[in-house]
Amino acid sequence: MEVTFWGVRGSIPAPGPGTVRYGGNTACVSIRTAAGALLVLDCGTGARNLGLALLGDDGAAGVGGGFGAGTGEAAILLSHTHWDHIQGFPFFGPLYVEGNRFQIYGPAESSALLEGILEGQMAPQYFPVQTLKNMGARIDIAALSAGTTREILGCRVTAAMNPHGRSGAMAFRIEELGGSERRSVVYASDAGYPPEGPPAEVLALYAGADLLIHDSTFTPDDRARYPHRGLASVSEAVQAAVRARAGKLALFHYDQDYTDAEVDALVERARHELARSGATTELRPAVEGETISV
């Protein structure tokens, strides 16, 4: 599986000279499976660049998939519907090409409610397109419950809920079916753990992941300063990866006020803490535009 980061920032896009190395776009990650299927994790502003790549506008090779011609198909998994995880959705170009098909999954009490939330973002006071129905692609929306497993585009997708805000944020484990070795990617953005760490069912979801993409919004000091924001420190990310025996840990969802130098310091701290733990987990800070092979 090829995992590409299109947006790695939390809360709000942070353009400016201070964020050009790690990137200022909000959360969006794509997974291209060995079989060629496309799964998109969250739709922050990074989704715009993913869309451009899929439509071939930036000349990037190898991502294709028929989205320009209206024969593309992808699944979009939403961890939750805070703005920084859906604000790129209206700017995701392949949604405007008739014939493309999208399955959208996310946490909500019902599929109709999830659709209503996405419709709310498109409403005429906020966006000129006014409704999902004007976008062109076929969009099927389904609510997911924590603890469920579902087969999506040749992958086994399991969901668990992390504490975050009023209704939590969903973490996903994605395993490609078929082939001899079952590779796994876990996406855990926006994880506001209690002091004792991740809930048991969440740790079980992380267990043995080849790649764990984990919320690393804060330094431990800032985490303590903003406990109500429900976001993890880099140390909590390291501890989760060590306890889960993850193969690789991708730091993700950096605070909007952190400059590249401050993210460098987060990464250094993680490197140091990982080394001290004796774990074999490899550290891969998420960088906009970079791909990790799993």
Partner 1 sequence: MRVRFWGVRGSLPVPGRKTERYGGNTSCVEVRSQAGTRVIIDAGTGIRRLGQELMREEFEGGRGTAHLLISHTHWDHIQGLPFFAPLHQAGNHLYVYARRRDDLHLRAVFASQTGDPYFPTSIEEAKADISFRELADSAEFEIGDVTVACARLNHPYVATAYRLSVDGASVAYVSDTAPFSDILFENQFIPRPPLGRMPLGESDRSKLREMRDGVIRLCEGADLVIYDTMFTPEDYEKFPHYGHSRPRDALDVCRVAGARRLVLFHHAPERSDSEVDAILDATRAEAQRSRLSFGLDAAFEGLDLELGPGAPQGERLGRLGGGERGAGSGP
Residues that bind partner 1 (CB under 8 A): 9, 11-20, 23-25, 45, 48, 80-83, 86-88, 90-91, 108, 117, 120-121, 124-131, 134, 165-167, 229-230, 256, 288
User: Of all helices (H) and strands (E), which one includes residue 234?
Assistant: helix 234-244
Query: Please, which residue, 214 or 229, has the CB nearer to partner 1?
Result: 229
CB of 89 to partner 1, least distance (A): 11
Q: Closest CB to partner 1 among 121 and 235?
A: 121
Q: Which of 197, 287, 213 is nearest to 247 (CA)?
A: 213
- The shares of helix, strand and coil residues in the chain, as percent rounded to the nearest 5, are 30, 25, 45
Q: CB 214 → partner 1: shortest distance, Å? A: 20
Q: Tokens for 256?
A: 């909007």
State the angle between helix axes of 234-244 and 260-277 in degrees (0 to 180), rounded to the nearest 10: 40
Our CB check for partner 1 shows the closer of 100 and 184 to be 100
Buried b (16+ CB within 10 A) or exposed e, 170-185: bbbbbbbeeeeeebbb
- Token couple for 247: 């193969």
Of the pair 15, 179, the CB lying nearest partner 1 is at: 15
Give least dist CB 128 to partner 1, A.
4
Question: What span, in angstroms and rounded, lies between the C-alpha atoms of 56 and 18?
Answer: 29
- The CB-of-17 to partner 1 minimum distance in angstroms stands at 5
For residue 282, what are its two tokens?
A: 């490899």
Q: How far is the CB of 288 from partner 1 (least distance, A)?
A: 8
Indicate the residue among 126 and 275 with the shorter CB distance to partner 1: 126
